[in-house]
């Protein structure tokens, strides 16, 4: 399915106006680092000033934490199960803190690559697996940006 990137929250990986393809499969198990497209969870819809009541909103973010993992953000570093996350896709470190939390079954922690300009799990919490539509796998437009996202 085709989606258009509406904001800068995933820069530099995705730019405003990029057209991406998303693979939708019932048995998809998101992995750390995957780019996923999902329906905004209720907590996000309550805090998003641009969401109209009863309207479905779709976001794209990167999977950071998976079910049963411990996530923490401290002094600009993201920790998974106590180990610093090595990231080459985020340009600036997060300027926020997240106290240590354990993700429940079927819950994911997702962040935008533009760490400090993204409306994501650091604001609204965990993402339920049932909200995930699929994995973004390719930029198909504009022509100079065509590439795989896998």
Four-CA torsion 5, 6, 8, 13, nearest 10 degrees: 0
Q: How far apart are the C-alpha atoms of 51 and 41, rounded to whole Å?
A: 12
The answer to whether the CB of 146 falls within 8 A of the CB of 140 is yes
Rounded distance between C-alpha atoms, residue 54 and residue 5, angstroms:
22
Pick the catalytic residue: 7, 8, 9, 148? 9
Rounded Cα distance between 108 and 34, Å, is: 11
Which among 61, 118, 121, 126 is annotated as catalytic? Answer: 61
- Pairing outcome for strands 83-84 and 19-23: unpaired
Q: Is 46 a catalytic residue?
A: no
Active-site residue flag, 9: yes
Query: At 43, which helix (H) or strand (E)?
Result: helix 42-47
User: Which residues participate in catalysis according to the annotation?
Assistant: 9, 61
């Amino acid at each position: 399915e085709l989606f258009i990137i509406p904001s800068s929250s995933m820069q530099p990986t995705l730019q405003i106006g990029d057209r991406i393809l998303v693979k939708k499969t019932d048995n998809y198990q998101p992995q750390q680092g995957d780019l996923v497209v999902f329906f905004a969870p209720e907590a996000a819809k309550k805090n998003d000033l641009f969401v109209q009541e009863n309207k479905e909103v779709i976001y794209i973010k990167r999977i950071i934490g998976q079910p049963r993992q411990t996530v923490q953000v401290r002094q600009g570093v993201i920790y998974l199960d106590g180990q610093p996350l090595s990231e080459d896709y985020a340009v600036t470190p997060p300027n926020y803190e997240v106290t240590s939390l354990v993700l429940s079954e079927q819950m994911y922690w997702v962040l935008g690559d533009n760490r400090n300009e993204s409306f994501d799990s650091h604001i609204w919490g965990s993402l339920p697996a049932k909200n995930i539509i699929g994995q973004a796998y390719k930029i198909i437009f504009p022509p100079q940006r065509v590439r795989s996202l896998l």
